[in-house]
Amino acid sequence: MRKFSMMMALVMSLTLLLAACSGNNGGNNANKPGSDPSAAPSNDVGAPPAEEDITQKKVSISIYYPTPDRVEDRALEDDKIKRFNEVFPNVEVIKSDWQYNPNEIGIKMGANEAPTLFNTYASEGKFLAEKGWAADITELFNNYEFKDQMNPVLQDLFTVDGKVYGIAQRGYPTGVAVNKKMLDEKGIAIPPFDWTWEDMLNTAKAVSDPDAGISGIAPMGKGNEAGWNWTNFLFTAGGDIQSVDGGKVTATFNSDAGVKAMEYYNQLKWEANAIPLDWALGWGDAVSAFAQSRTAMVIAGPDGPVDQGLNQGGMSPDDILVYPIPAYEKGGKHYGVLGGDFLVINPNATKDEQEIAFRYATFDYFSDKGLESLEQNIQARKADNKFYVPAVLQYFKSDSEYGAKVTELFGKHDNVYQYGQETLGLIDGKPESQFNTQDYYGAMTNVIQEVFSKEGVDIKAQLDMTAKLVQEKFYDTIQP
Amino acid sequence: MEQSTAVPISQSKPQTQRSGKIKRYMWGYLFLLPAIAIFTLFLWLPIFKGVMSSFYTIDFVKGDSFVGLANYKTVFQDADVLVSVKNTLYYMGLALVIGFWVPILFAVSISEMRRFQGFARVAAYLPYVVPFVVLYGVWRWLYDPVGPINAVLKSLGIGQISFMVDRAWSMISIVIMETWQSFGSAMLIYLAAVLSVPREWYEAAEIDGAGVWQRIRHITLPAIRGQILLMLMLQLIATSQGFQTQYAMLDGGPNNATLTYALLIVRYAFVRQDYGVASALGVLMFFALSILAIIQFRINNRGGVES
């Protein structure tokens, strides 16, 4: 148990220390007159502005840098910095291995310690934009020569009210990773890719062996991931999280579709006995359980469990099948919540720093150098006897010229995991809600835990109560 | 003339005394300075700032805005606050029932041992140095539905227990784990107290025919009463702030069954990024803990005199 001083230091000293660091002036140097070193002096007003060569700018940017355990990724980043400096010789690129964390971003921004360019997730776009923690890069993006080839499914997630706040890297519609080997060992028929809730339930029930600690499926049951996992079923049942009408946000997840989705979870637990007995699993726990063959199915962005299964669980590519989220009924949609990785530019950076950071972020995009770099990464993994697991969605349109080149490159290497075409044809991404996504996930986690821990819960009453809570606590505070 | 000569003499005396005192205590004051600076910077000012923050909406980028008592209103309207208070009290109570007597029992038992006393002390203290990450991993395995504890229960014909996700068991499981981890530290304090009891008292009692239990009941326990009271207050203060295990193992679940007050503060601050409400919760907790701290301080002083 920690002493009070620890928590006080976390919560109370935070404001003082961070305010001291940032000077509590908003920290937005970009908005301060004269803060831009490249700004023309006032006595130059009237003179025609000289054309500036951006490659000769002398600025310093800090960039998102992979953690020490990702040796290959670090080598790639080092190579990129070297090549970037050949084109931008006066730019100092400082490596920051801080990984975006929703629990830390406030502290980082308050202390003015967030890197100039940092990574984030798909769900954070609106949140960062509203908090003022992501720079408006609309102008930079509109001037970007490849903007029309960027994958709109991803890029649009960081476009809020017509303004661009991030640069897509990779993404996914949530799917289901299936441990085919476990099914084969039990002689269970492999379900069709165009599967339904019922197919999933039957498969999970058949493979489940609670006495041996084996579950058919491990829906996440701890943290906000639980709500996120369940939302896939809400979507496939035809439901939605909220509706927005004239700026008024209304909770809708307690609809009939929500009831169906929660009843399905109830069935998985109490009728099929197909989920882990210790169901309080977060993303890491559930994906690890999959890689250790303690569960036959896990719901996640497909590349995560596949990567863990292949590179840490010692599974072979033939052992893993990637499915879309099952449809509610035959012929229904296979919606999966859209997720992914993005790069965001610090709004506290000067305009020059922001432009250089944008150019750094997109330096390898759509370039042959980027392809070379990717191939080196694949080869390095091959040398380490590891697989390269691409994201389902890339920053570029899959049907673009560049997309064809990448597909060709992946086909050349046998250590690149290939998703089944049938799955890719069925899988359908759906963006998260616009407002208070994490608050909604957190509230739903409580309902899921209630259903998993008690038999015979009044599902409709639970959903109504939670919808009322979310409505009053979060949605009603949103200004139209 | 006499007066004019007397005044400087009478004035110079206190000056000399003062300068003498300053000289005498100068090094002491200088040694105090770093502590005062550190306490001011990292404790008193943050506490003051925390109180101030509880009246503001904190926005590190756009600047803070004064909201009066709105954050306190949010606290009192949030149903989770009541849940967390109840859970915290339950957790504190469980820690007393399950864990408080364990170090006393071990200290008394070890003090009665004639052989292997050193080994027993080290063995009991070892769990305290186990890193938390390892501790959580080990106990997650122990509590697993097909883990060793459930295997034993099964062999005894007792049904499987979901230690982590059964709401009736989740907090109890946490307390058992924490007791195992931390009793060694408290045991050393009790053991020191027990070993400081004069041996003659025990010898006299033995001559009078007192058995082990009578010696413990009439000599040991009364002799370490001050330490027991002190440790009681310290444990209450510590458990009232518990959140680490609840957060790491269950994130406050299942369905808020392990959501403690301190964990709710962490959620407000670092999940909802609402530092104003988190500060308001912290301030309320600060006042509640201050009462316990004052009681502890008084017991400490009284215990010190008695011992």
Q: Is residue A39 part of a domain?
A: no
Cβ contact A13–B269 (<8 Å): no
Q: Are residues A118 and A208 in the same domain?
A: no
Asked if A290 contacts A198 with a C-beta cutoff of 8 angstroms, the reply is no
More confident residue, B89 or A43: B89
Residue B14 banded pLDDT, cuts 50, 70, 90: low
Give B50→chain A minimum CA distance, Å. 5
List Cα–Cα distances, A409 to A71, A321, A388, A421, A473, in angstroms. 22, 22, 12, 17, 50
| B58: its two tokens | 């904190």
CA distance A318 to chain B (A): 29
Portion of chain A with pLDDT greater than 70, in percent: 89
Q: Between β-strands A175-179 and A320-324, what pairing exists: parallel, antiparallel or unpaired?
A: antiparallel
For residue A209, the tally of other CB atoms under 10 A from its CB is 15
| pLDDT tens track for A69-87 | 777 778 888 989 999 999 9
Angle between the N-to-C axes of helices B225-240 and B275-306, in degrees from 0 to 180, rounded to the nearest 10: 180
Does A139 lie in the same domain as A286? Answer: no
Q: What is the ipTM of this complex?
A: 0.74
Average pLDDT over residues B43-50: 92
Q: Give the C-alpha separation, A208 to B303, whole Å.
A: 59
| Residue-level pLDDT at A10 | 44
Helical spans, DSSP H, in A143-212 = 152-155, 180-185, 197-207
- Residue A443's closest CA among A257, A175, A258? A258
Q: Name the H helices within A91-196.
A: 105-110, 125-131, 138-142, 152-155, 180-185
Q: Which of A224, A418, A53 is nearest to B270 (CA)?
A: A224
Q: Do B270 and A453 touch (CB under 8 A)?
A: no
Question: Which chain A residues are closer than 8 Å to B237 by Cβ?
Answer: 4
Strand ranges in chain B using DSSP code E only, listed in sequence order = 56-57, 65-66
Question: What pLDDT score was predicted for residue B6?
Answer: 46
pLDDT of residue A20: 40
Query: What domain count does chain A have?
Result: 2
Tell me, yes or no, whether A407 and A429 share the same domain. Answer: no
What CATH number does the domain containing A164 carry?
Answer: 3.40.190.10
Q: Are residues A330 and A347 in the same domain?
A: no
| Averaged pLDDT, B293-304 | 73
> How far away is chain B from the Cα of A263, in angstroms, using its nearest Cα?
17
Looking at residue A32, its pLDDT comes to: 35
Residue A34 has pLDDT above 90, yes or no: no
Mean pLDDT of B68-75: 95
- Domain-located, residue A98: yes
User: Is A42's pLDDT higher than 80?
Assistant: no
pLDDT of A324 strictly over 90: yes
**A450·B254 Cβ contact <8 A:** yes
Asked whether residue A62 falls in the same domain as residue A81, the answer is: yes
B218 vs chain A: nearest CA distance in angstroms? Answer: 33
CATH of the structural domain B71-131+184-306, one choice from 3.40.50.150, 3.10.129.10, 1.10.3720.10, 1.20.1420.30:
1.10.3720.10
Kindly compute the dihedral angle of the four CA atoms of residues A448, A452, A454, A456, in this order, to the nearest 10 degrees: 80
Arithmetic mean of pLDDT, A31-49: 39
Task: Return the sign of the alpha-carbon dihedral for residues A44, A46, A50, A56.
Answer: positive
User: Nearest chain A Cα to B181, which residue?
Assistant: A1
Question: Going along A56-148, which residue ranges are E strands?
Answer: 60-64, 92-96, 117-121
Can you say whether residue A366 is alpha, beta or left, with left for phi > 0 and alpha for psi between -120 and 50 degrees? left
Count Cα neighbours of A9 within 13 Å in the Cβ-side half-sphere. Answer: 10
A285 is a domain residue: yes
Do the chains contact at B254 and A4, CB–CB below 8 Å? no
Q: A453, B146: Cβ pair inside 8 Å?
A: no
Largest CA distance in chain A: 82
* Interface touch B50/A8, C-beta < 8 Å: yes
Q: Are A196 and A237 in contact (CB under 8 A)?
A: no
Q: Nearest by CB to B256, from A4, A104, A446: name it.
A: A446
CB nearest B282 (choices: A8, A22, A279) = A8
Task: Please indicate whether, in this complex, the C-beta atoms of B254 and A453 are within 8 angstroms of each other.
Answer: yes
Per-residue pLDDT at A110 exceeds 60: yes
Do B160 and A277 lie within an 8 Å CB cutoff? yes
Check residue A437 and give its pLDDT.
86
**Could you report the per-residue pLDDT of A437-459, keeping only the tens digit for each?**
888 999 999 999 999 999 999 99
Q: Give the model's confidence band at A479: pLDDT under 50 very low, under 70 low, under 90 confident, else very high.
A: low
Lowest mean pLDDT across A7-21, A383-397, B146-160, B293-307: A7-21
Q: Can you give the residue range of the structural domain that contains A281?
A: 175-338+420-477
Distance, CA of A397 to CA of B247 (rounded, Å): 41
CB-nearest to A278 from B162, B238, B243 is B162
Are A167 and A76 in the same domain?
yes
Average of pLDDT values for A158-182? 94
Residue B218's CB is within 10 A of a number of other CB atoms, namely: 13
Contact A347, A135 (CB under 8 A): yes
Model confidence band, residue B29 (pLDDT cutoffs 50, 70, 90):
confident
Comparing CA positions, the residue from A161, A148, A114 lying closest to residue A134 is: A114
Kindly report the average pLDDT of chain A as a whole number: 87
Q: What is the pLDDT of residue A50?
A: 56
The pLDDT, as a whole number, for residue A19 is 41
What is the residue extent of each domain of chain B?
2-53, 71-131+184-306
**How far lies A273's CA from each of A185, A269, B80, B149, in Å?**
20, 5, 31, 21
Q: What is the greatest pairwise CA distance in chain B?
A: 106
The 10 Å Cβ neighbour count of residue A476 is: 12
pLDDT at position A21 over 90: no
- Contact flag A7-B270 (C-beta cutoff 8 Å): no
A370 and A244 in a common domain: no
Q: Which long-range contacts (CB under 8 A, 24 or more apart) does B294-303 make?
A: B295/B233, B296/B230, B296/B233, B296/B234, B296/B237, B299/B226, B299/B229, B299/B230, B299/B233, B300/B230, B302/B226, B303/B226, B303/B227, B303/B229, B303/B230
Domain end among A366, A387, A412: A412
Q: What is the pLDDT of residues A386-426, one digit of tens each?
A: 999 999 999 999 888 899 999 999 999 999 999 998 998 99
Please name the member of B45, B61, B275 whose beta carbon is closest to the beta carbon of A14. B275
**Higher-confidence position of A20 and A218:** A218
Alpha-carbon distances, residue A146 vs A55, A396, A426, B35 (angstroms): 19, 9, 28, 59
Substitution target from A11, A452, A479 for chain B, most B beta carbons within 10 A: A11
- Whether residue A467 sits in one domain with residue A375: no
Q: What percent of chain B has pLDDT over 90?
A: 62
Task: List the one residue out of A452, A463, A11 whose CA is nearest residue A268.
Answer: A452
pLDDT digits (tens, 9 = 90+) for B124-145: 999 999 888 899 989 999 999 8
Q: Which pLDDT does position A102 carry in this prediction? A: 76
- The CB density around residue B121, as the number of other CB atoms within 10 Å, is 18
The answer to whether residue A306 scores a pLDDT higher than 60 is yes
**Residue A416 contacts residue A387 (beta carbons within 8 Å):** yes
Can you tell me the distance from the alpha carbon of B286 to that of B54, in angstroms, rounded to the nearest whole number? 12
- Picking from A1, A126, A136, A446 by the largest number of B CB atoms within 10 A of its own CB, the best residue to mutate is A1
Same domain, A301 and A196: yes
Tokens, residue A260: 């169906």
Contact between chains at A438 and B239 (C-beta distance less than 8 A): no
- Cα of first residue to Cα of last residue in chain A, in angstroms, is 44
Is it the case that residue B92 has pLDDT exceeding 90?
A: yes
Query: Do residue A428 and residue A287 come from a single domain?
Result: yes
To the nearest 10°, report the CA torsion of B232, B131, B243, B231. Answer: 10
- For the stretch B202-259, pLDDT in tens is 999 989 998 888 989 999 999 999 899 989 988 999 999 999 999 999 999 898 999 9
N-terminal to C-terminal alpha carbon distance within chain B: 60
CA A362 → CA A113, A342, B100, distances in Å? 23, 12, 59
Which residue is listed with tokens 């025609």?
A: A48
Res B3 pLDDT > 70: no
